[in-house]
Amino acid sequence: MSNFSVNNPSTGQTEDTFTRIEDSERDDILDRSTAAYRSWRTTTIDERAAILNRAADIYEEKTDDLASYIGREMGKLDKWAKAELGIVVDIYRYYAEHAHELLADKELAAQGAQHTYVRKDPIGPLLGIMPWNFPYYQVARWAAPNLLLGNSLVLKHASICPLSSQACQDILEEAGLPKDVFQNIYASGSQMDAFVADPRIAGVSLTGSEGAGAAVAKTAGENYKKSLLELGGNDPFLIIDDDNLDAVLDQYVGIRMYNTGQACNAPKRLIVLESFYDRVVEGLEKRIGALTPGPWDDKNADVGPLSSIDARDEIVQRLADAKSNGDATVRVGGGSIDRPGAYMEPTLLTDVDPKADVGCNEVFGPVAIVYKANDVDEAVEIANNSDYGLSGSVWGTDLRTAEDAAARLEVGMSFVNEASVTAAGLPFGGVGRSGYGRELAEWGVGEFVNDHLVRVTPQ
């Protein structure tokens, strides 16, 4: 059965196919992962850090080829792919360079003993279920901290990412990681429930859809194991004054359309004050209307294709439904582009009903939505009128007011005069329908860990 394939969304052509695992292979995969864990956990911190550091070197050395893989797989523009790989390099280097600090024992007051402390121990084989939109970055932020801890990993990537997912394994093994500590498997979503339930899997991390997250969390909970979910987002982007409006709108369009709008933490709801709302709409009509779609290797393209023709068609249909139902006004774009591949017109919506589909559910594509508020308090109220809670940003020259508004956003990550920022040393994660748990920085080693209390008391 070959249901993993490279379907180039820039051309609409299938370039290669890969065979999915059989259910009967699960035992061998998990037995090998368990055996590898027992050995890997006994290696020194220095050994693990050296491998992570070498992996960073290899990602850097192979950037051009690795970027072409994800360009062909999901349509990521070459400049964006190389930027993603730069973050991956930073993540592996961060965990290598901070290894001893991150895994250091935490000394506690003796409290009646001679010595009381907490050590960080690994917990066992972990399952990672990863999405296609950032094929290397999503894996790195799960893999690097957990390999440092001493856990072994089984990766089930998106079915459209067979080249990049195998590259994640190959690079780590080239860097010196023992065989089977990291296994990339070509498996379907329907095969994951049995993996999650299996007692050899100690925990599961999923980045993906809400439906997949709910299924994973249910099975993990029923089997008494930890899960981490990073799901969708409907992030607000608040502009609270018009002192630097043109510059802020330039940044907004660049951030919203990055990765062709296919980012969970992209600013999907632009909320501006009524006093300059008309200027915002006019400015966005010009900016978004001028964007040029193109294939992944077109250096002049402003946006690429969607990840697949089906993904494109779903968004275009939702926009058509919103327009016909009176749930939104389409100011720019909204349709598919008549050319081979998964292209759609970058889109601007106004007059959106926040209770309608496009208002309350994530639109995972190049679609900007603008709301207006009477004042900052109402802007925050609109921002918080969402079941999602990944991130949000506030833009303004009065930093005290902006910071106060940002602190009131009911999200996992708030930013002032920047948005959608991710870095190896910053925690990443959300609340509500956006999931739970945190990745990266010290929090990355704090999810799938045994915080092991040790007390030493003389007889």
410: exposed, middle or buried (C-beta count within 10 Å: 0-12, 13-18, 19+)? middle
Q: What is the mean pLDDT of residues 230-239?
A: 96
Nearest CA to 388 out of 414, 362, 420, 366 is that of: 362
Active-site annotation holder among 22, 25, 174, 230: 230
Summarize pLDDT for 370-394 with one digit per residue, the tens.
999 999 999 999 999 999 999 999 9
pLDDT-derived band at 4 (thresholds 50, 70, 90) equals: confident
Q: What confidence score (pLDDT) does residue 203 get? A: 98
Domain boundaries, given as residue ranges, for the chain = 4-231+434-456, 235-423
Q: Reply yes or no on domain 235-423 having CATH 3.40.30.10.
A: no
CATH class of 4-231+434-456: alpha beta
- The answer to whether 230 is a known catalytic residue is yes
Q: What confidence score (pLDDT) does residue 166 get? A: 98
pLDDT-derived band at 2 (thresholds 50, 70, 90) equals: low
Q: Round to whole Å and give the CA distance between 447 and 425.
A: 16
Summarize pLDDT for 43-75 with one digit per residue, the tens.
999 999 999 999 999 999 999 999 999 999 999
Rounded to two decimals, what is the model's pTM? 0.97
Summarize pLDDT for 304-354 with one digit per residue, the tens.
999 999 999 999 999 999 999 999 999 999 999 999 999 999 999 999 999
* DSSP letter for each residue of 243-274: TTHHHHHHHHHHHHHGGGG--TTSEEEEEEEG
450: exposed, middle or buried (C-beta count within 10 Å: 0-12, 13-18, 19+)? middle
Summarize pLDDT for 128-166 with one digit per residue, the tens.
999 999 999 999 999 999 999 999 999 999 999 999 999
Summarize pLDDT for 272-310 with one digit per residue, the tens.
999 999 999 999 999 999 999 999 999 999 999 999 999
